Every structure is written in C-alpha cells, then in structure tokens.
Homo-oligomer: A and B are copies of this chain.
Amino acid sequence: MNHRICAAAALALLAPLAGAQTTPQGSRDLPARSIPVPDTVSPQMQKLIGAPLTPTWNVIPKTAEEWKAQVSAGYEATMKSLPALREALGVKVEPITLDGVKAYMVTPSSIPPQNRNRLLVHVHGGCFVSFPGESGTAEAVYMAGIGGFRVISVDYRMPPDHPYPAALDDAITAWKAATRMAPPKNMAIFGSSAGGNLTLAMVLRAKQEKLALPAAIAPGTPMSDLTNAGDSFQTNAALDNVLVAPGANCDKRAALYIAGRDPKDPLLSPVYGDLRGFPPAILTTGTRDLLLSSTVRVHRKLRQAGVEAVLQVYEGQSHAHYYRDVSAPETREAFGEIAQFFDKHLAK
C-alpha cells in the first residue's frame, strides 16, 4: 500500500483541493476514488495497467551526478531486458556512426520484399535525458521485428551535459546521412514520448533548412507541449502509472533539455509550430496517458494544417504502454498499424 499512499499524498500537493476557495470557475470537483483495472484489454495489458507507479516518478536528483546515476540505473535495467526482446522478434542491433553521430542499425532477420529499399529513422524516448546508448533501441527493435523494416536508431546527445539543441542537431545530422542511404520518399521517422517530440521537431527543422522530408512520420504519445498545457495533464494525473503527474521527474528531465529557453519555441513544443506541409502522420496514445491531450492536440493541429493524420487511442493504456510487453496483442496491433500506415505512404 505504500506507493498508493505516496501517490495520493503527492497528488494532493499537485492539485488544488476540492472545494478550496481558490477553485477557478467551472472546475470539476472529484471525490477520492479507486479505479479498477479494466477487463476490456488483454491479460498482459491488465498487468501493465495494474502495475505500481514508476518507482522514480517523483524522485528528483539534485545534481548532474545524481541525474547520471539515475539514468545509469535505468540503462542497466533496460540493457538486461533487450537480449530477450531481440530474440523474441528476431532482430539484430549493431552500432554505427553517421557523420559523427552515434546510432544503431536495427535489422530484422527477414525483410519482406516491399521493405527492401525502405529505411526508418528512430528517435527514442526518455524525457530527453534517459536511455543512452543501446538502451534507447527498444522501440526500434519492436518496429523492426513487427514491421519488418530496417531501422536506424539515433543515440543523440542528452542533458545534463548536452541540453537543446544537441539532441535535435544530432537527429538532423543522422537524418541527412540516412537520406544518402535510401531515397527520402522510401523513409519514415518515428519515436515515442521525447522521441515523438523530436520526430515532430525534426520535420520542423527539415522544413526550415529545406531538407528532404520523410514520406511519413509516427510520433507516439509525443511530448508536444513542454509548457504542460493540455487537459489530460490534470485529468489523467495519477491514473497514468508511467509518468504519473505533471511537474514530476519527467518534467524535470525536460527542463534540463529546455535549459532556460522559451518552452513555447516550436522546436521545443511542436504543437505551436507551423505544421503545414508535414508528411502523413500516425499518432498513438492511450486513454489513461498523461499525454493524451498532447497527442490529440497535435492530431488536430495536423488536420487543421491539411495534413493526412490518423489517431490510434488504446483502451486503458498509460504513457507508451504499447511497447512494454512483446507478448501483448495490443503491442503487435500498435506497431502493425504503424507498419501498415508506412506501407501505404512509403515508396518502394
């Protein structure tokens, strides 16, 4: 019960108390309650939804060294899980360098004919600070294995040593190098969370620099608004067991990336960008995702800009739950949808 008590205590700090005199007009007062795990998802997803809150969701390191220690612990845990994931999906991962930027070539054991001349570029999540090196390749392994695509996963530089724009600079350098390995019309960019932010920011930067654009993008539950505007930051607080609540660990990591700049800069918060001319996009989120609003708001901005954009919202899922369990049917479904979308829009 400890984590439950902690969550309730922390949330009480984050949200104004019901009935308080400062309650703004129109606020919805909700009583304390207990939300059960839904039975409308697979047993594997029920397990993820019923899991305790991320242990470090509100553990905030105080120094750069403490941040590195926390990131290192996450790195070690992820690295332990990757061999089994690669094995399950028949995928190999090899380090490469693209014009000085570190990356990984992620290759499935079998590539269907229509994907032989196609190439995807992946930018990983981790709130701009976590999952360095090979630990950032997990989502690329899912995409390569389930979709049958070759994927370049970019190991971009991160805070605390390298704030914005280092990650975006590296991602763009990798993109430029990758477009010499395959025709851009045969390529897509994808990534979730911070990787969804970077996917969108890469297209904004590529537009600015008049680079070739990919034929499609798949920003998953993108951190599209680093100002934390958006209804689901409030409505899904504490329901989402991954990010849990605004103002907590993930946002502190994002602050290291922003490093004092204006978070409303579209290259930091792409929802405020000019999205006209974007390639077709597929966005993925869940009903309990703290970034549900950050996802559906970008979807609407894309549609308002005349872009073909499709939205997938998975029942009961918290932030990026769709690549946590390789055995969950929802995982195959999510990457299957993205693969089908890419197949529709990428040249061969």
Residues of A with Cβ closer than 8 Å to B? 1, 4, 7-9, 11-12, 15-20, 23-41, 46-47, 49-51, 229-232, 234-239, 241, 287-288, 292-293, 296-297, 299-300, 303-304, 310-316, 333, 337
Count of chain copies: 2
Instruction: Closest B residue to A7 by CB, please name it.
Output: B29
One of B11, B29, B231, B313 near A38 (C-beta < 8 A): B231
A49 to B, closest residue via Cβ:
B26
Between A and B, 14 residue pairs with Cβ closer than 8 Å are A4-B29, A16-B33, A17-B32, A17-B33, A25-B50, A27-B37, A28-B34, A30-B34, A35-B231, A35-B234, A293-B315, A303-B312, A303-B333, A303-B337
Q: Which of B11, B36, B304, B313 contacts A26 (CB 8 A)?
A: B36
Indicate if the CB atoms of A304 and B287 lie closer than 8 Å: no
Rounded to whole angstroms, the CA-CA distance of A310 and B280 in the bound complex is: 14
Contact at B8–A31, with CB atoms within 8 Å? Answer: yes
Closest to A312 in B: B311
On whether the beta carbons of A300 and B24 are closer than 8 Å, the reply is no
**Out of B28, B33, B288, which one reaches A231, CB within 8 Å?**
B288
Of B27, B34, B293, B333, the residue contacting A20 (CB under 8 A) is: B34
Q: How far is the CB of A301 from chain B (nearest CB, A)?
A: 11
Q: A30-B8, A30-B35, A34-B30 are in contact. Are A315 and B296 (CB under 8 A)?
A: yes
| Residue of B whose beta carbon sits closest to that of A10 | B31
A34 in contact with B16 (CB, 8 Å): yes
- Quick check: B27 and A235 within 8 Å, CB to CB? no
In the complex, chain B residues whose CB is within 8 Å of the CB of A31:
8-9, 11-12, 15, 32, 238
A40 touches B287 (CB 8 A): no
Report if A40-B235 is in contact (Cβ < 8 Å); known contacts: A26-B51, A32-B32, A296-B314. no
Residue of B nearest to A15 (CB): B33
**In the complex the two chains form, is A310's CB within 8 Å of B310's CB?**
yes
Inter-chain CA distance A47–B24, complex, in Å, is 13
Chain B hits for A311, CB < 8 A = 310-313
Contact of B30 with A32 in the complex, beta carbons under 8 Å: yes
Please measure, in the bound complex, the distance between the C-alpha atom of A287 and the C-alpha atom of B300, giving whole angstroms: 13
The CA-CA distance from A237 to B29 in the complex, in Å, is 11
Contact B32 A50 (CB under 8 A): no
A122 to B: closest C-beta gap in Å: 23
Interchain CA distance A336-B264 in the complex, whole Å: 29
A40 touches B4 (CB 8 A): no
Residues of B within 8 A of A24 (CB): 36-37
Which of A31, A232, A241 has the most C-beta atoms of chain B within 10 angstroms of its own C-beta?
Answer: A31
In the complex the two chains form, is A315's CB within 8 Å of B287's CB?
Answer: no
